[in-house]
A and B are shown apart, each in its own frame.
Chain A
Amino acid sequence: MKKLWLAFLLLMGMGLALAQQVRIVVVSHGQASDPFWSVVKNGVDAAARETGARVEYRAPETFDMVRMSQLIDAAVASRPNAIVVSIPDGKALERSIRAAVRAGIPVVSMNSGSDVAESLGVLVHVGQTEYEAGLGAGQRMKAAGVKNAICINQEVGNVALDLRCKGFFDGLGIKANVIPVKIGDPTGIRNAVAAALQKDPSIDGVLTLGPTAAEPVLQALEGRRGITFGTFDLSPAVLTALSQKRMAFAIDQQQWLQGYLPIIILNNYVKYGLLPANKVVMTGPGFVTPENAAQVVDLSKKGIR
């Protein structure tokens, strides 16, 4: 065994000029089952392959801030070269993230937490600002003539999603009307939207916050005219609906980059001390509309968009 190790070390030493392997731990709040986060993880994996860094990806099973802070604490205790976190709730994760910074571990945040990242000692945040993205969606719908809208929230309590709805209604300039739904129940989502439209026929705009809710809502809106429907984030079915003009827009935050860029940034920072000067690297919001949906379809099937 010892001999094998020696031989291995020699080979490594000769081949890579003794470049130490950078070890980065990623802790996100994205459940493994969420299609959005599977794309983020694909980005993480690609960057790990390209940089040769050793990357470990961790996430709690449910949207659980306590569990997430424990995962960050565990990551800090394992003394990695760097940590990547998502910050859906700055207050809840503050202690753990500060502990990482105090321990001298460089931290880059991604996806959510743009508003608190800098104050917590995070080097760079890679993502989109949720409230502004929601605001953009609301302004778009207002320009399309929408007077009365609903926002379908599949994860009430996730500050980022709550902010999207808030921005959306502010952008429209109307009173908030949020419909909470259960992410695992497509029929329940579809019928809840049908019920809301039946109760208030003046509703002419619907915003969903992810593809798991967007697909059932597409069904609820089948055969109805005059409803502007937009969603956050992409999936193959959402893109098909866009190209068939059954949807007005999808907000693309290019989450592949949210997984990919932090690894690249940290790899360079750990090895050479290089860092972008921006405090927030914006990956979104980009709007995918019926005009430009076709080019995105194939990439979405590959888990990149």
Chain B
Amino acid sequence: MAIKVQDERLQPVGLWRRLLLRPELGSIAGLIVVFGFFAIVAGNSGFLTWAGTRNYLEVAAQLGILASAVALLMIAGEFDLSVSSMIGVAAISMAILANPSYGNLSLGLAILITLFFALGIGYLNGYLVLRTGLPSFIVTLAMMFILAGANIGFTKLITKLTIVSGLNDKIAADPIARLFTGELLGLPAAVWWWLGVTVVLSYVLLHTPFGNWIFGAGGDANAARNVGVPVSRVKITLFMLTAAMATLLATIQVMGLGSANVLQGQGKELEAIAASVIGGCLLTGGYGSVIGAGIGALILAIVQQGIVYTNIDLDWFKVMVGGMILGAVILNNYLRKLSMQVRR
């Protein structure tokens, strides 16, 4: 009869403590608090129904798609503020390319050309950041203005307007559009894209060498370079990824609405960063989680849509959003400190 002896060199770590070590934990706690709040305050006015759930899931999905890539970039130690303008540029670009009066290309081709263009912008962002050595915060802020301005300028030059519509017939006739507007099991395509993107990127981060490189590049770029991590390649790839995700988001919006407008995506860059930070990413890089960013996006969406179901005067809307962000991050930090103490 063998008795299983615990190896005395290993400190036993219980399940609760192992959970505490996860970067997502704070955001899950935040999610429970926020959801509980709206369930109690607005539970009987439709927030808890299937339609209400769908409502905030769709908003969360659109932000989550963006936040998943932004989180990876933040873990690698960089920001991308130009994603907001990228959404508008991508939306207008595919709308003009596919519009019968201008480009008249098929939807698939219009989306593909737009994607390649976006990847080029993403590459340019990464190249400029690495080449100049300036903080990516500044470089991509400049790019945000440049793209937003160019978007207005070119759109007015070509169409004289700032809304490009007239895609509805094409969208109705083209099966490709169904990839972005269809439904599966009662949930809109955006939600499935979100789940897919989150699972894939989370797998890459946690179970592939590239994922280790991301942590390395954000933790200490020089040390990472010295052990052979291709830091430049990692960062440029991630800048291209954020531009690609901005394009995916723009595609979902344009296919759903049948028109594009130059303002699309405004403000999304900070929402994506907020979602990532709520989800456990550090502003200094080297730490964070893709799943956490998804949960962060869900928290923001629940606050944004949930408040409409409450009887709170909507004049106070932004106070609520800001308060919830602050609360979630404080909770997050507190739990992370706890987990750090556990580690010792």
Give A209 Cβ to nearest chain B Cβ, in Å.
Answer: 15
A264 at interface by CB-CB < 8 Å: no
Asked if B263 and A33 make an inter-chain contact with CB atoms under 8 angstroms apart, the answer reads yes
Among the interface residues A33, A182, A216, A219, which one has the most CB atoms of the partner chain B within 10 A?
A: A33
B49 touches A198 (CB 8 A): yes
Q: Which of B59, B151, B159, B259 contacts A237, CB < 8 Å?
A: B259
A188, A199, A212: the one contacting B261 at CB < 8 Å is A212
Q: How far is the CA of A219 from the CA of B84 in the complex (A)?
A: 23
Q: Which residue of B lies closest to A198 (CB)?
A: B46
Report the Cα distance A303→B261, complex, angstroms. Answer: 14
A237–B258 touching, CB < 8 Å: yes
Q: Is the CB of B263 within 8 A of A184?
A: yes
The number of chain B residues with a CB under 8 A from chain A is 46
- In the bound complex, residues from chain A placing their C-beta under 8 Å from that of B259 are 215, 237
Q: How far is the CA of A191 from the CA of B253 in the complex (A)?
A: 13
A-facing residues in B149-182 (Cβ within 8 Å): 151-152, 156, 159-163, 165-166
B308 touches A35 (CB 8 A): no
How many residues on A have C-beta within 8 angstroms of the other chain's C-beta atoms? 37
Check if A237 sits within 8 Å of B253, measured CB to CB: no
Closest B residue by C-beta to A41: B156
- Tell me if B230 counts as interface (CB < 8 A to partner A): no
A159 within 8 A of B: no
Contact of A33 among B152, B165, B256 (CB under 8 A): B152
User: With A179-B314, A215-B165, A235-B165 in contact, do A184 and B55 touch (Cβ < 8 Å)?
Assistant: no
Contact A184:B162 (CB < 8 A) given known A32-B152, A195-B305, A215-B259: no
Contact flag A186-B253 (CB < 8 Å), given A215-B165, A303-B160: yes
A-B Cβ contacts below 8 A, count: 119
CA distance A84 to B79 in the complex (A): 41
B160 touches A302 (CB 8 A): yes
| Contact residues, A1-43 vs B (CB, 8 A) | 32-35, 38-39, 42
- Which of A35, A180, A188, A219 interacts with B162 by CB under 8 Å? A35
User: With an 8 A cutoff between CB atoms, is A211 at the interface?
Assistant: yes
Residues 201-233 of A, flagged 1 when their CB comes within 8 A of B and 0 if not, give: 000000000011001100100000000000000
How many Å from the CB of B162 to the closest CB on chain A?
A: 5
A282 at interface by CB-CB < 8 Å: no
A185 to B250: give the CA distance in the assembly, Å: 11
A42 to chain B: closest residue by CB:
B160
> Which residues of chain B have a CB within 8 Å of any CB of chain A?
42, 45-46, 49, 51-52, 55-56, 58-59, 62, 84, 88, 101, 148, 151-152, 156, 159-163, 165-166, 190, 253, 256-259, 261-268, 304-305, 308-309, 314-315, 317
Chain A residues in the interface with B (C-beta under 8 A): 32-35, 38-39, 42, 156, 178-180, 182-188, 191-192, 194-196, 198-200, 211-212, 215-216, 219, 235-237, 301-303
The 8 closest A-B pairs by CB, nearest first: A184-B266, A303-B160, A195-B308, A198-B46, A184-B263, A33-B262, A199-B45, A237-B165
